[in-house]
Structure 1
Amino acid sequence: MGRRKGSSNNNKKSSNSSTTENSSPPNHLQVTADEDVEEISNLDNSTCDPTDDVIGSDKTSADYYFDSYSHFGIHEEMLKDTVRTKTYQNVIYQNKFLFKDKIVLDVGAGTGILSLFCAKAGAKHVYAVECSLMADMAKEIVQTNGFSDVITVLKGKVEEIELPVSHVDIIISEWMGYFLLFENMLNTVLYARDKWLINDGIVLPDKASLYLTAIEDAEYKDDKIEFWDNVYGFNMSCIKKQSMMEPLVDTVDQNQIVTNCQLLKTMDISKMAPGDASFTAPFKLVAERNDYIHALVAYFDVSFTKCHKITGFSTGPRSRTTHWKQTVLYLEDVLTICEGEAVVGNMTVAPSKNNPRDVDIMLKYSLNGQHCSVSRIQHYKMR
């Protein structure tokens, strides 16, 4: 089958655009990324932490997550993801009744794009919390655009800063990582919700759903995985074992999809507890044609249900590409599957014990088909 464009493992968030997933998102999910909106400024939203005075200065690898958001390239990439940024812009501009005279908390504000949208929509005040060095740029951007009286940029971790107010009416954040949960900024949003959000307050977005499907991917698996069996005549299969455990963040061609798409988990950000991000979910992937399966693919949708019209976007392979792309989990087995046969099993997802921003995935799967019978457990680590 066709090959994906440009690959990357689990570096930071990567770039582009998306619309409604045809095979699985809820029917009410309205994608607004292509609607006419005002031109996007070259600004952005994310989260991090620093102590240096120069953006992009050297840090140890232990500071990688926080320091990475100090670099301009990551913000440019996310801003140019028009599905991501224009959806947020449309949610805010087309639902000004939610923001008029309200106090807003922007968690992981980055360069402040969401805060600027909120201020322009009539928010009474916006507190933009950003813990990377980009906070200094955000302050200058806010001042340059004439919103210093409405937007206050606070530099620091959400868990450590104190707001000048006791409560906020709205929390807005772009917290989603690869595989939805990689980097685990969700817990920061939940912390802010529990500490500052009023009882009938709004979290935007408020719903996120994780999906799973299966693909044929022989050519690329050979290139990325089987390659290590013979490297210029030498056996490097020990690396192959490690590479199998690292999910690949990449763009999947929808023509590679062999099965239906299965909903694994829906999270209600306004109500869920931090521990709900760890879960075990069953799946049943039914083949829609005779083919081979080389990998399972995960992706997510988010939705804003408090809007006048429910709005959201999908990161699935049948949608326009976003910087999140999809997450590919290669299987040790090549599954030969016939139309109507099913790969069944369950997936366990949890933050890594060593670093809660990383994700550990355990996959149990089996197929009892006409040409293939297999049952296996595989472990993956998103780092």
Structure 2
Amino acid sequence: MIDILQRYPNVADEPLAMAMLCQTLKTKGLAGDAYALGLAAVAAAPGNTDVRDLVRAALSAGVPHWHAPMLRDAPRNACYSQAIARLVTPGMRVLEIGTGAGLLSLLAARAGAQVITCEANPVIAAAAREIAQRNGLADRITVISKYSTELEIGQDMAEPADLLMSELFDDALFGDDIVQVMADARGRLIRPDAPILPPRAELRCALVALDHPAEWPLGMVEGFDMSPFNLLAAPSPAVLRVRSDGATRRSPPTSLLAMDFEAPTFGPTQETAVLISDGGVIHGVAQWLRVDFGADVMFENSPFDESRSHWGAPIHPLSEPIETVAGEAIEVTARLVSAQLLISARRA
């Protein structure tokens, strides 16, 4: 904090001016200075909401909203903590892809690892460095503000890592080009026999009936036929999410597109399964995650159980409802097309 105030002495005694300069620095791409000056401004005037709001407005722009809920996801955190404690040994070289606030790196460093972690967003990277410093682990964690595909052995990393960690999953598993990113890292940045954490993940799917099926797909709106817009809608629709209400499960769940990140070929890009309906109308397919951390440590965010995960469970709506009888077979197909997940269903 002293260093940043020495760099900008003209605002050192004026928290509001510091906050305004924080905004300017962020706009100019000086993310590290912006973050440090923002921290200094808030520390200098902890009760000043004008200062705090200016700093938060500047620094939070472009930061995905899911970071804080993810850090509060206790079941997810426990799975990573158990797996890291099992796999990491003192002196191990660990590579993490996607630093975020740096929780996984902190867990690995606490277990004795030397961690290289990459974060493309420079403001998030600056926050992760501050968090490592405050927790006394800055000497074991190096945060590099790059995409993992830009890392180079001999420049960013002295040698390939002994363990690869990541959490690139989104609600539909395949966000952030996870397959391409993992393939690149496995081919260039880790030892050939290095474990990957987590090693496996898959989709879970079930047929559902919706309480309010008219919300999607688009049809008549204010007397106008809006259905041609359906082709432009997000192909992996987090339009509706279920937790305790809003949808009724119409079949037992099944698994699709299981990914093994340690296998020569991660997994299929298209797969079809037959689900047996309990009977009644089907409006869509609910889809969620199951992540295998090894050694019987498993995470699943089924919306039909008592899940409290930050990951949602998108419903992929059918173009037309299907009226079924109990025991009727429905074919569900999941496809990965240009890193987008498409799920459809039809009578078998």
TM-score range, shorter chain: 0.7 to 0.9
Q: How many corresponding residue pairs?
A: 291
Counterpart AA for 1:366: R
Residue 303 (1) aligns with residue 303 (2): no
Residue 168 of structure 1 corresponds to 161
Gaps of 5+ in 1: 1-49, 58-66, 352-357, 368-383
Pairwise CA RMSD = 2.9
Residue 366 of structure 1 pairs with residue 347 of structure 2 = yes
Q: Is contact 2:106–2:132 with CA below 8 Å preserved after alignment? A: yes
Task: Please say if residues 127 and 151 of structure 1, whose CA atoms lie closer than 8 Å, have aligned partners that are also in contact.
Answer: yes
User: Does 1:283 find its partner at 2:307?
Assistant: no
Provide the rounded CA distance (Å) in 1 between the counterparts of 2:150 and 2:60: 20
Q: Look up the match of 1:60.
A: none
Match of residue 127, structure 1, among 107, 116, 125: 116
Q: CA deviation at 1:166?
A: 1.5
The 5-angstrom pairing of residues 223-242 of structure 1 reads 223-225=215-217, 228-231=219-222, 233-240=223-230, 242=232
Show CA shifts across 1:142-188 (max 9, x none).
Answer: 12221121111111111112233212111111111121013323421
Which of 207, 212, 220 is the matching residue for 2:205? 212
2:82 aligns to what?
90
* 1:77-106, Cα deviation, whole Å (9 max, x unpaired): 21112222232123224x2x6333211111
Q: Which runs of 5+ in 2 are unaligned?
A: 1-26, 36-58
- 2:159 counterpart letter in structure 1: S
TM superposition shift of 1:284: 0.4
Q: Determine the C-alpha separation between the residues in 1 that align with 2:269 and 2:212.
A: 30
The structure with more radius of gyration: 2
Give the corresponding residue for 2:98. Answer: 108
Contact 1:211 1:298 in 2 (8 A): yes
Structure 1 residue 206 displacement after superposition: 0.1
Aligned match of 1:264 in 244, 251, 256?
A: 256
Paired position in structure 2 for 1:28: none
- Matched residue, 1:323: 310
Q: List per-residue Cα deviations over 1:286-321 (Å, max 9, x = no partner).
A: 012x2110001222211111xxx3212012223413
Identity, % of aligned positions: 24
Relative to structure 1, is the Cα distance of residues 263 and 51 closer, same or farther in structure 2, using a 3 angstrom cutoff? Answer: farther
Counterpart-to-counterpart distance in 1, 2:323 and 2:344 = 18
TM-score (normalised: structure 2): 0.75
| Cα distance in 1, alignment partners of residues 28 and 336 from structure 2 | 32
Higher relative contact order (CA 8 A, sep 6+): 1
Alignment correspondent of 2:138: 148
Q: Please tell me whether the aligned partners of residues 225 and 243 of structure 1 are also in contact (alpha carbons under 8 angstroms).
A: no
- Distance in 1 between residues matched to 2:102 and 2:281, nearest whole Å: 46
| Counterpart Cα distance in 2 of 1:265 and 1:190 | 17
CA deviations on 1:56-80 (whole Å, 9 max, x unpaired) are 99xxxxxxxxx99952743212111
Please name the residue that 1:199 is paired with: 192
Larger helix share, 1 or 2: 2
Report if aligned partners of 1:69, 1:132 keep a CA contact under 8 Å in 2: no
Q: Does 1:247 align with 2:237?
A: yes
SS at match of 2:182: helix
Contact 2:88–2:108, Cα closer than 8 Å, also in 1: no
Cα pair 1:296 1:330 within 8 Å, conserved = yes
Residue pair 1:69, 1:75 contacting (<8 A) in 2 also: no
Counterpart AA for 2:277? A
